[in-house]
Amino acid sequence: MRKLEEVLEDWEAVIGLEIHAELTTLDTKMFCGCKLEFGAEPNTHTCPVCLGLPGALPVPNKAAIESIVLAGLATNCDIEKHSMFYRKTYMYPDMSKNYQTTQGPVAFCMRGHLDLEVDGAAAKERIDVANLAAGESRGNVTRIEDGYTAHVGITRIHMEEDAGKMVHIGGGEGRIAGATHSLVDYNRAGTPLTELVTEPDLRTPEEARLFMQKLRQIYLSLGISDCSMEEGSMRCDGNVSLRRRGDTKLGVKTELKNMNSFKNLHDGLAYEICRQAEVLEEGGQIFQETRHWDPSAKRTIVMRVKETADDYRLFPDPDLAPYDLTDEWIDNVRAKLPELPDQKAARFSSAFSLSAYDARHLIEHRATANFFEACMELAGDDAAKLAKPVANLVINDVTAYLNAHEGVELDETPLTPARALALVKLTTEDVISSKQAKEVFAAVLDEDKDPAAIVEERGMKQVSDTGAIEAVIDAVLAANPDKVAQYQGGKTGLIGFFVGQVMKEMRGQGNPKVINELLAKKLG
Ligand SMILES: [Zn+2]
């Protein structure tokens, strides 16, 4: 199979997402008073309503509707004041009602959008924006300095309920194949579940991953779900089809399931795009089918082939009256909107004179955003001056550390905001070099000590004394007369070589600013 970059040269991928989020932070289920609790003893949170016993009458959970309206307002949706609940035929043991209560053509939230900022390596997958000038738009994208923004439409967010959980006994890895029997746990049945459907506006796996990431940030800031992709409280399915670059007609799409992490979402879509390209290039045909991403085998497998559109026999639920929302109620919900990730980025950018890129990456995770803010609070009057170096530390070093230590929470590490700020000050005040700062950063995390103590113990003080540095510079220049001549002949890029040599001689303890200044003077 060809690589994704090559495939995307010839083919345009058209991707849409369906994202389910359980409203895990609520106390009770969608249509009954049963408690919501992950990991409770099986079948301890059930009642006649969520088991679908005859005569049981559902009552909508108002807090759940407030949550979905919050989600809609935060994603630029129109809130529909009149909507209804429907029954969708669903015959499977994990839903003993034999239907799922969901919404029909009109959902609580319709016609929204999110704007994605795609930069750095992530922007490379979208090859058709490379030749746009900064600020220029084409289709749903606008070129920005280090990438582009993409306007992604949201068709709707509707309210429904989750099914129970099946446990298959005797098969491999809990799979149904080879199982001797299955057990059902109805604790999850009736959990308030939102489903967001995007327009097919996404074009690369990176855009899909960023959309999911941005939505997760928004839901977390709203506090409506714990958004755990691992435990399945946030799940994503993808629809993907290909068409030749320049074509406008849509190709046949496949639906992809089981992409339960950001990496799986990206890799599953990337694989499926390459697979479809291979089939089409060999003269084959894509079938409308549901496929399962297998991350260990790194491929997608057919689950079921769809010959016609599914017919769920959707009809209005006779037990639930149409739901009417008033303007006043919607305004009350709007007043509860917290600061959203984009707003936080804009605030960071203006309050601390940070670039849009820095602000965007600081707010990528709540933990890093909070950490940065805590550092700025401690910095007091120096906040404006220290914002950029603190942002660099958080975006580069802290993020790299967290990526390398999966499952570690920032506030559980020995790196406190006070220590981070102290480390940054040691660098900006020229006590240690930026190279030494990397060593101190690692030592703070390894040894749980203050940066000043580490610098003291290791005798790491930076040498800024011009006399000492000058002596080393003279020796380096004397040892490289040919390079000095080349520099003076115009190859000024050699300055890096001289700085490196001086640094090496001084075992990394020379102040690079002083070295650069003195070198420029001596060579000039
Ligand atoms: Zn119940």
Residue-wise DSSP of 295-353: TTTTEEEEEEE-SS------EE-TTSPPEE--HHHHHHHHTT----HHHHHHHHHHHTT
Spatial separation of the C-alpha atoms in residues 379 and 65, rounded to whole Å: 41
Spatial separation of the C-alpha atoms in residues 50 and 34, rounded to whole Å: 8
Residue 131 lies in a domain: yes
Looking up residue 512, the CATH number of its domain turns out to be 1.10.10.410
Residue 315 lies in a domain: no
The verdict on 99 and 189 lying in the same domain is yes
The verdict on 56 and 151 lying in the same domain is yes
The verdict on 376 and 434 lying in the same domain is yes
With H, G, I as helix, E, B as strand and everything else as coil, classify residue 124.
helix
The verdict on 449 and 488 lying in the same domain is no
Distance 191 CA to ligand 1 centre (A): 9
Distance 312 CA to ligand 1 centre (A): 24
Q: What is the pLDDT along the chain (524 residues), one digit of tens a residue?
A: 899 999 999 999 999 999 999 999 999 999 999 999 988 999 999 999 999 999 999 999 999 999 999 999 999 999 999 999 999 998 889 999 999 999 999 999 999 999 999 988 889 899 888 888 989 999 999 998 889 999 999 999 999 999 999 988 887 777 777 889 999 999 999 999 999 999 999 999 999 999 999 999 999 999 999 999 988 899 999 999 999 998 999 999 999 987 889 999 999 999 999 999 999 999 999 999 999 998 888 898 888 777 666 677 889 999 999 999 999 999 999 999 999 999 999 999 999 999 988 998 899 888 899 999 999 999 999 998 999 999 999 999 999 999 899 888 898 999 999 999 999 999 998 888 888 899 999 999 999 999 999 998 888 877 777 888 889 999 999 999 999 999 988 888 888 899 999 988 887 778 888 888 898 888 87
Helix H or strand E segment including 158 = strand 147-161
Question: Burial code of 449-467, b = ≥16 C-beta within 10 A, e = fewer?
Answer: bbbeebbeeeebebbbeee
Residue 316 lies in a domain: no
Residue 50 in contact with residue 189, Cβ under 8 Å?
yes
Spatial separation of the C-alpha atoms in residues 56 and 53, rounded to whole Å: 6
- Tokens 């855009």 sit on residue: 207
Side-chain half-sphere of 198: how many Cα atoms within 13 Å?
A: 28
Spatial separation of the C-alpha atoms in residues 466 and 450, rounded to whole Å: 29
The verdict on 180 and 220 lying in the same domain is yes
Distance 89 CA to ligand 1 centre (A): 19
The verdict on 485 and 437 lying in the same domain is no
- Partnered with residue 78 across adjacent β-strands are 110
Distance 194 CA to ligand 1 centre (A): 18
What φ, ψ does residue 194 adopt, rounded to 5°?
-105, 145
pLDDT at res. 466: 82
Domain that holds residue 474: 466-523
- Sorted by sequence, the CB contacts under 8 Å of residue 189 that are 6+ apart come out as 46, 50, 51, 94, 95, 96, 161, 162, 163, 164
Distance 158 CA to ligand 1 centre (A): 21
- Tokens 């979905």 sit on residue: 68
Distance 218 CA to ligand 1 centre (A): 29
Distance 186 CA to ligand 1 centre (A): 9
Distance 42 CA to ligand 1 centre (A): 13
Task: Enter the DSSP assignment of 159.
Answer: E
Distance 318 CA to ligand 1 centre (A): 19
pLDDT at res. 308: 64
Of 266, 299, 329, the residue at which a domain comes to its end is 329
Distance 324 CA to ligand 1 centre (A): 24
Residue 113 in contact with residue 153, Cβ under 8 Å?
yes
Helix H or strand E segment including 495 = helix 495-505
Distance 73 CA to ligand 1 centre (A): 29
SS (H, E, C) 458-470: CCCCCECCHHHHH
Distance 317 CA to ligand 1 centre (A): 18
Spatial separation of the C-alpha atoms in residues 503 and 510, rounded to whole Å: 6
The verdict on 104 and 224 lying in the same domain is yes
Distance 257 CA to ligand 1 centre (A): 28
Task: Enter the DSSP assignment of 36.
Answer: P
Tokens describing residue 9: 């040269």
What φ, ψ does residue 280 adopt, rounded to 5°?
-65, -40
Please give the span between the terminal C-alpha atoms of the chain, in angstroms, as a whole number: 55
How many domains does the chain fold into? 3
Distance 227 CA to ligand 1 centre (A): 22
Residue 73 in contact with residue 80, Cβ under 8 Å?
no
Spatial separation of the C-alpha atoms in residues 286 and 274, rounded to whole Å: 12
Residue 335 lies in a domain: no
Distance 337 CA to ligand 1 centre (A): 29
Residue 300 lies in a domain: yes
Of 458, 487, 507, the residue at which a domain comes to its end is 458
Distance 50 CA to ligand 1 centre (A): 4
CA nearest to 20, candidates 238, 189, 203, 200: 238
Distance 32 CA to ligand 1 centre (A): 5
Distance 45 CA to ligand 1 centre (A): 7
With H, G, I as helix, E, B as strand and everything else as coil, classify residue 314.
coil
The verdict on 93 and 219 lying in the same domain is yes
Residue 500 in contact with residue 483, Cβ under 8 Å?
no
Residue 184 lies in a domain: yes
Residue 334 lies in a domain: no
Question: Burial code of 24-55, b = ≥16 C-beta within 10 A, e = fewer?
Answer: bbbebbbbbebebeeeeeeeebbeebbbbeee
Distance 392 CA to ligand 1 centre (A): 49
Distance 187 CA to ligand 1 centre (A): 8
pLDDT at res. 493: 87
The verdict on 38 and 119 lying in the same domain is yes
Residue 339 in contact with residue 221, Cβ under 8 Å?
yes
CA nearest to 226, candidates 39, 23, 18, 17: 23
Q: If 0-12 CB within 10 Å is exposed, 13-18 middle and 19+ buried, where does residue 193 land?
A: buried
Distance 224 CA to ligand 1 centre (A): 20
Residue 314 lies in a domain: no
Tokens describing residue 423: 């480390």
Distance 56 CA to ligand 1 centre (A): 10
What φ, ψ does residue 406 adopt, rounded to 5°?
-60, 135
Distance 188 CA to ligand 1 centre (A): 10
Distance 190 CA to ligand 1 centre (A): 7
Distance 47 CA to ligand 1 centre (A): 4
Distance 210 CA to ligand 1 centre (A): 36
Of 259, 294, 329, the residue at which a domain comes to its end is 329
The verdict on 103 and 148 lying in the same domain is yes
Distance 3 CA to ligand 1 centre (A): 49
The verdict on 470 and 454 lying in the same domain is no
Distance 482 CA to ligand 1 centre (A): 84
Distance 109 CA to ligand 1 centre (A): 26
Spatial separation of the C-alpha atoms in residues 24 and 510, rounded to whole Å: 54
Distance 46 CA to ligand 1 centre (A): 4
Q: How many other C-beta atoms can be found within 10 angstroms of the C-beta atom of residue 174? A: 12
The verdict on 516 and 381 lying in the same domain is no
